[in-house]
Each structure stands twice: as structure tokens, then as C-alpha cells.
Structure 1
């Protein structure tokens, strides 16, 4: 089987960079990146500057693209947003999801192109959304995969727990067609053995075998007549690890097994950082933003309540992995990282290069003509390249054993 890839929601190329580090045999036959409501498409420009733009790199809204033009491929990858995946009956049109929800574009591509393997990334709250019907949205995704003849394994991975310098927690979803050679290894294997021994994630992201979790493993099924029934009725407490095959679902809370080495925020710092990154004023404002607070507020309907939040370390410790980087990293914001520079002993922000290092990108990867503020934004949206590299190693083995 050829190592051909279609990449959706490509950003500045984290998936492509990670897979490329795992093997130079991956061929990206079609990619799509579109930043809605932005005249300048800086992320796409960054992507194509690094990977040499071709006619198969598309900078258009995926909702408006005819999916039939997408080439055949063996692997579909993408980091897509957590949205409302609910569906409803729409008369003559049958079943339809909400307009503009990007999952339905993935679903349409899976129906048309039937790639053997799929690797997706999302925020871990996907497992719990929506709050009014916990687990429904992920349940709809699993039902879609099941309907199209796929089995699925998922894992919530905190990059710092496997040696990377950022506490970035994301869910990775690996799906495979039930007619692949790879699928045969799970014939007759129970779910526990799948998750702990034979599954996709275990070789690169090992977990403890003993049950030290707060929740006991649990099972359910998603055998409904159609997606509308799933949307209307399904609710389930998904845990950080699990698998689905033939409509049967298993989930378990697992703990990482990793003995180091561990990287820290201090390991990725630049030297000789410019004065523009230092907090030469507004220290009191920063202390307030970072500090604990309780504030009396009134909601729009007149309800009085007390807003409270705990303190954030100020400055951030250098002997631990960083907190999760957000898209607001460039702003004067509670979540923005502030460090005590070991060279000057003065407080400052992280530089764009340091943010790139936290996600495993080469230095100045985003220095391609975009504003400094957007460089931070891109890194707040990006995935940790090293995680994809490790998954790419496993994918190499899987695809090389296919017919």
C-alpha cells in the first residue's frame, strides 16, 4: 500500500512535519487549509512556503469544495474543531448535520474515498460535549465510523507525560477499515488486550497495566437505526482511552507509563532575548491577572453570582513543562506565559521561537510574513509535532504490512 495522505485543516503543517520526520515516503496528494473570516491566509502561506505549493494545496472553504476532486489516499489526517455534531431529519433530504460543521466534511470524504486509515486530533472536551447530553458528539462520530465499516481507537495524550516540554492535552482518534490486514490482529481480541497490548497507541505511548484509575472500565454499544436516534438518545461517560468495533464501545481511564527523560520550559528558552519581550511596566496589572480573585457579578437576566478563580504561578516555573499554550499567548492575558529570564533575572513573555519549540517546530517556522501576533496564534492552534512523529512510526509499520 502506498503512503498517500490527504490533510485537512492543515494549519502550518504539524501533521505533515511529524509524519515527514517518521518517514520520507509519505506523499501528500491533497491538502486543505482555510482560515474563515480572514482576508490574509497566513497559515496557508506558511504551509506552502515550507512544503512547496502545488495545485493539490487548496486554500478554500472545505464546505464549498466538491469532495469528488480529492484523490484516492491511504491515510486521512486533520485537526478539526469541536463543534455541535447533532443531526436531524430534514424531509426529502433525509438526515443532515448542521451547516458549516466540519465533521460532516470528513464524513463525506470517508464515504466517497474510503481511506484505509484515519488519524484525527481534537481537544479532549470532545469526549464530554455537549454539557446537556454528555458524550453525544463523540458518539455520533463513532456511529459514523461504524456505519462506514471502520473500527476506532482513541487516546487522550498529555504531551508532557511522554517527555515533551508542554502540558498539552489532546485526543487522538485512529480509525481503520474493517477489511484491512491490520484489522485482522483484533479478531477475537478483547478490548482490554486491545488497549493495553495490541492497539495503535500502546507501542509509542505505553500505559500502566494496573488499574489505578478513579473510574472502572465500562462498555456500551451504539447500535441504533440511524444517526438521528444517536443524536437524540445517546449519552455515555467516555474516559481518556477506548476502542469501538462493530458498534461495541469500550472505555477506560489509563495512566501513562514513561520514565523519562522529561523536558521542561527552561530547556527551550532562547538566549539574548530582545527588550520588547520584557515586562517593563504594568507589573501590577499582570499580578492581578495571575492572582486569585473573587468578584461579584450580575448575569444578563439579573442573577447575582460570585465569579472566582485560583492563582496561576507568576512567573511560570522553568523546572517543569509549560502550561498549555493558547491562541491568546501574545496578549495581556491571564493564560499568557511569563517567565523569569535566567540571564537577566527579569520577567518577560515567551518569544515566537520559544512557542514554536514548545510544539516541536523548527525555529522561525512561522516567520514567513505573518504578524508576530499571528505567529503566537498559530502555535496556540498547533499540535505537538513529536507526538505525530511517534504515531507516524507506528503508521509506517502498519501500512508496510498491508497488501
Structure 2
């Protein structure tokens, strides 16, 4: 199959889903994303791909080393590559503007595929438990997704979201998922969906997501769903951590660092390690109390293979008022397991749920470690609007992403079945 199949990424985030499809051989026409920082991440990644494909990757390396500015990096590639990143909120007031920009990128070409999934907070079980999401406008973003399908009529679309989508209801107790499927069928698509666990496809993370695939045309008896081949590597979480320099809480740097050992076999097979500079290995600082709690958490796992319940802590360390909720708020990313627990955007708030398994380092994960859990390659750089590195923004983008490896596996199978 030709590698010129073109796709549009809606609600693109930092580009995890897109990166997987690019690796498989699809070509992005445009990315649409509301978050300005994520859009700069996408622009920088667009620059990476263009420079790599045009034998000028040294320019990207210079950028990671702070030898050239971000603007100088962008000036090194055609302007339409940067313009293909569309920083817009998708909604009724912006559709015409976004269509116009996508049309400019498409030219006379046909769009083959649309990928992406609306923000998941309104569908997530955690989100619903924390606040009333029934009237959240994000519940209805699938309607605008359908507008893109109606206009461009791609052969396929790939729609990703959290499992909570299956049970989220509107004010009339109707399932959003049922309404969504009915709309997609109404505009001419046959729908199939699966629930995926990322750890079954090479990702060292227990992350479950629903991925709905639509194919334009009438339903046939034969399933068209691109069933990817499973990959269960002989690896554990230490394989994505052990080659990184040990650093304490508050230590490390966003600028390039050198690995201290040869990369693990998993890092190589998953195409995570890179010959380009490795960035974002910077740990957040923690209070003395939190560091003492982290010691308890890691020691309990190391000695008893048991997770810490908040009530297990000595009384003088229990400063949280709510002792009967979120009792697992402190959690180690166990290095001896084949997959860690799910990385989510809350990692941008604090690192209590993502404690490094090395008790000597005694800290939470760095953005690079979290990015590896999400199977982002080491040459992926996470931007901020200001141009100055912002750890909170990087964590948010990483936590909201689709694991690159999972996306790649689905994309490869879709390409085979095309």
C-alpha cells in the first residue's frame, strides 16, 4: 500500500496517536488542537519529521542542544508544514475557519483518514465522580467530529477514548456512545469498536482505551476491524528506567543528558531510544514530608510487594483531611512488574501516584520517564507556549496522550487491510 495515504488528526493533543500513524506510513495533512502548548509540540515534531526526511536532522539536534532558537528551527522547514498545525477550539463558531485551513493543506488531494478523540474528562469515571459532567459541552464534541466526516468523507476514521464513554449518559439517561454510533451510521459509516489494553501491544503500561473504527459504506458480514498483532515483550518497567542518569528530587535538567548504560532490548525494539539528544529528564522538587512518605511507599513494595494504603502511614505523616478517599494517592511505579499503572494528566499536579522505584533517588518520575511509559521516542520534545520549558505542561501533554506503540500497531494493521 502506498505511503501517501493522508490523514487529519482532530483533538490531536501532543501527537501520540498521530506519531503512531506516521510510523506506520500515513502522511498527516493537518492537526487540530485547542491547547497552544501542545500545538508548539506538534510544530516541533513536524519539523523533526521534515528534517529527518530531507537529511537535515542535525538542525533538530542543534535545537535540542539550545544552539538555535525555536523560530530558527521552524524557519528551516517550509512554512506550510508549520501552518498545518491548527490551534483552534473545535466548535460551531470555528468549523468554517478550520475547514478553510485544512482545505489549504489538502489542495487537490483527497483525505483518506480522520483520527482523534475528543477530550476524555467528560466521559471519564473519575471526572464524573468529582463533578457534574452531564452539562459539560465536551460531551457533544463528537457532533463536530461528524461534521469533518461529512465534509471530507474519508474511507476510514479512528476514534479513541476512555472506557467511561461506554457508560456516560446525558440528562435524559441516554448513552452518549449510542447517540454517537447512531450519528456516524446516519452519515454513512459502518462502526466497529474494541477495548484495548496497551500492555498487550508492547507498551509497559496497563492502560485501557476504547478505539472505534468507522468505514464508509454499507455493512457487510465480514468484519473490517484492523486487529493488530499482540506483542508481549520479555521486559519490565526497569527496562525503561535503568539507563537514565540517577537524580534526586529537584535534580536533572530539561536540556540533553547522556544515558549511563546501553539501552535495554525493549527500548530498541520499541524504537524509543534515539541517536539524538535525550531531554526532559528533570525531577520535580518535593517537601520533606512527601519524601519521607515516598520512602515508606517504596520500602513497602520492596519488602512485602504491597501497595501503601494511606492509613498505613504513621500518624504524623497523615496531613490530608480525606482519609477514606483516594487511599492509594501515593503509589510506586514498580520496576519489577511488566507494566505500570496508567499515566494520566493528573501527573501534572503532583507526582504522588508516580513514585520512582529506586528508593535512593526518592522522587517522582521525570517527564522523560513518563513519556517512555507512554512509548514516546526519546527525541520527542514537549513544548510550552513561552518557549521556555515548563514541566507542568509537558506532564499534562504526556498524560493525555495515546501510547505511540498502540497507535502504531493499529495503524500498521489498518494499512495492511486497506
TM-score in terms of structure 1 length: 0.66
Among 108, 111, 127, the alignment partner of 1:73 is: 111
| Residue number in structure 1 paired with 2:83 | 55
Secondary structure in 1 matching 2:161: strand
**Structure 1 runs of 4+ with >6 Å offset:** 131-135
Q: 1:322 to 1:84 in 2, by over 3 A?
A: closer
Structure 1: how far apart are the matches of 2:173 and 2:236? Answer: 34
- Alpha-carbon RMSD across the aligned residues, in angstroms, is 3.2
Judging changes above 3 Å, is the alpha-carbon distance between structure 1 residues 358 and 333 closer, same or farther for their aligned structure 2 residues? Answer: closer
- Whether the aligned pair in 2 keeps the contact of 1:34 and 1:60 (CA below 8 Å) is yes
Please state how far the C-alpha of 1:161 moved relative to its aligned partner.
2.8
Q: Residue 230 of structure 1 corresponds to which residue in structure 2?
A: none
Following superposition of structure 1 onto structure 2, how do residues 311-322 of structure 1 map, counting pairs within 5 Å? Answer: 311=328, 314-320=331-337, 321-322=339-340
Q: 1:170 to 1:4 in 2, by over 3 A?
A: same
Deviation at 1:45, TM superposition (A): 0.5
1:359 aligns with 2:380: no
Structure having the larger proportion of residues in strand: 1
What residue is the counterpart of 1:150 in the other structure? 189
2:288 pairs, out of 281, 294, 308, with: 281
Residue 350 of structure 1: aligned partner: 365
**3-state SS, counterpart of residue 369 of structure 2:** helix
SS of 2:363's partner is: strand
Q: 1:172 to 1:49 in 2, by over 3 A?
A: same
Aligned residue runs from structure 1 range 116-265, under 5 A? 116-130=155-169, 136-178=175-217, 187-189=220-222, 194=223, 199-205=224-230, 260-265=232-237
- TM-aligned CA deviation for residue 306 of structure 1: 8.9
CA distance in structure 1 between the partners assigned to 2:360 and 2:293 by the alignment? 20
SS in 1 for 2:13: coil
SS in 2 for 1:348: coil
TM-score by length of 2: 0.64
Aligned-partner Cα distance in 2 for 1:316–1:357: 13
Give the gaps of 5 or more residues in structure 1: 36-40, 86-96, 206-257, 295-304
Asked whether the 8 Å contact 1:155–1:201 carries over to 2, the reply is: no
Please give the per-residue CA displacement for 1:58-78, whole angstroms capped at 9, x wherever unaligned: 112222131642444110001
Secondary structure of residue in 2 paired with 1:160: helix
Gaps of 5+ in 2: 48-80, 104-109, 124-134, 251-282, 298-306, 313-321
**What is the deviation of 1:121?**
0.8
Residue equivalent to 2:356? 339
Which residue in 2 is equivalent to 1:34? 34
After superposition, the C-alpha distances for 1:320-354 in whole angstroms (9 at most, x for unaligned) are 1111012121443543x11232xx73422111111
1:108 paired to 2:147:
yes
